[in-house]
Amino acid sequence: MWLKFEQRPEPSKTMSYVSPILAVALMFLSGLLLFVVLGKSPVEGFKVFFLNPLKDSYGIAELFLKATPLMLCAVGLSVGFKANVWNIGAEGQLLIGALVGGGIALHFEHTSSAILLPAMVVAGALGGMAWAAIPAFLRTRFNANEILTSLMLVYVAELVVSWLVHGPWMDPDGFNFPQTKLLSPEATLPILLTGTRVNAALLLAIGALLVGWIFMNKSFMGYQMKVAGQAEHAGRYAGFSAKRSVWIGMLAGGAMAGIAGIAEVSGPVGQITEHISPGYGFAAMIVAFVGRLNPIGIFFSSLLMALLYMGGEQAQQYLALPSSISKVFQGMLLFFLLGSDVFINFRPRFIRRRK
């Protein structure tokens, strides 16, 4: 017997929704296997990793808190990914957004003005956009590959953060820890539910999902970008500007990542440190793909990805495993998704092997 893939006459819509579910199932299965390999009870491992984080309402609130930056980054990235604009530097854009927005908060630390928070969010978005504009400009003007340039800028952004918190922005009363002062209460996002850490950024994220949905499905520009991504030549023939796709894709990703960054600083983190993001900008790429580049899908896949982050923390605490196990799960999920996607365009057929 020999497995062969036969091209379908047209891509299967059903399979494009089944594939993420299949990928998640495969991830769970290999997770159980991984626990066995590591000498842990798979039932216990599964319970600690996937069920423990959600056992009370505080845990569920934390899930939404961690899903917020993922939602924001992923919806921004999905706009570019649809048009084959590969912005993989969201992590750097997130950091620069955090710096610019947080810088405003630190500069106006004695203000109690009501426009401080909105100004910080706008500044965060602009910071992220500025960082994303570099690869967009280099791509449209000099044809430089945006994958490599946007990624290089992540490392540069990390070093800028490191320089600021070790140098000019370091809290003078902070016992030499590499961090800025804590943000004032006026510069902190309001909590939505007392007793939890869920803040107004969740509303921003859900708003971003709505705007993203309207842009991609109801606007002409969104349509142009989808065409450019699915059939480059058709897009060019219809006169859709490829350069504009690059700019919109990049800036959308940068703006959302920047907001995610400032929301972390003026939310759960509370100050600028070198640990603003545990790789949200990279995980958001997986969120975008697993969510089928669709805002509704992204909503659910960001919750799943947040669960993987929390599971990693639980595994560290109760199973004595490094918390980076969550990144192993995230990577596996993306691989399984890419693998399962073969069924969208192909149908498997078993044939007798020809001799």
**Site residues for another protein per CB under 8 A:** 4-7, 86, 88, 134, 138, 142-145, 147-149, 151-153, 155-156, 159-160, 162-163, 166-167, 282-283, 285-286, 289, 321-322, 324-328, 330-332, 334-335, 338-339, 341-342, 345-346
For another protein, the closer of residues 148 and 192 by Cβ is: 148
Per-residue DSSP letter, 266:
I
Closest approach of Cβ 244 to another protein, in Å?
Answer: 19
In contact, 200 and 216? CB cutoff 8 Å: no
For another protein, the closer of residues 313 and 341 by Cβ is: 341
Closest approach of Cβ 319 to another protein, in Å?
Answer: 13
The count of C-alpha atoms lying within 13 angstroms of the C-alpha of 270, restricted to the half-sphere facing its C-beta, is: 7
How far is it, in rounded angstroms, from Cα 259 to Cα 121?
Answer: 6
Dig out the tokens for 243 from the structure: 């350069």
Of 261, 257, 259, 239, which Cα lies nearest the Cα of 249?
257
Closest approach of Cβ 34 to another protein, in Å?
Answer: 10
CB proximity list for 2: less than 8 A, separation 6 or greater: 350, 351, 352, 353
In contact, 68 and 207? CB cutoff 8 Å: no
CB proximity list for 92: less than 8 A, separation 6 or greater: 131, 150, 153, 154, 155, 156, 157, 158, 281
Closest approach of Cβ 328 to another protein, in Å?
Answer: 5
In contact, 121 and 264? CB cutoff 8 Å: no
For another protein, the closer of residues 240 and 343 by Cβ is: 343
Amino acid at 277: S
Closest approach of Cβ 308 to another protein, in Å?
Answer: 10
C-alpha distance across the termini of the chain, in Å: 12
For another protein, the closer of residues 31 and 267 by Cβ is: 31
In contact, 253 and 80? CB cutoff 8 Å: yes
DSSP, residue by residue, 93-139: HHHHHHHHHHHHHHHTTT---TTHHHHHHHHHHHHHHHHHHHHHHHH
**Other CB atoms within 10 A of residue 208 CB:** 24
Closest approach of Cβ 340 to another protein, in Å?
Answer: 9
Q: Rounded to a whole number, what is the largest CA-CA distance in the chain?
A: 81
DSSP helix/strand/coil, 11: coil
In contact, 121 and 144? CB cutoff 8 Å: no
In contact, 132 and 253? CB cutoff 8 Å: yes
For another protein, the closer of residues 37 and 214 by Cβ is: 37
Closest approach of Cβ 122 to another protein, in Å?
Answer: 27
Closest approach of Cβ 299 to another protein, in Å?
Answer: 21
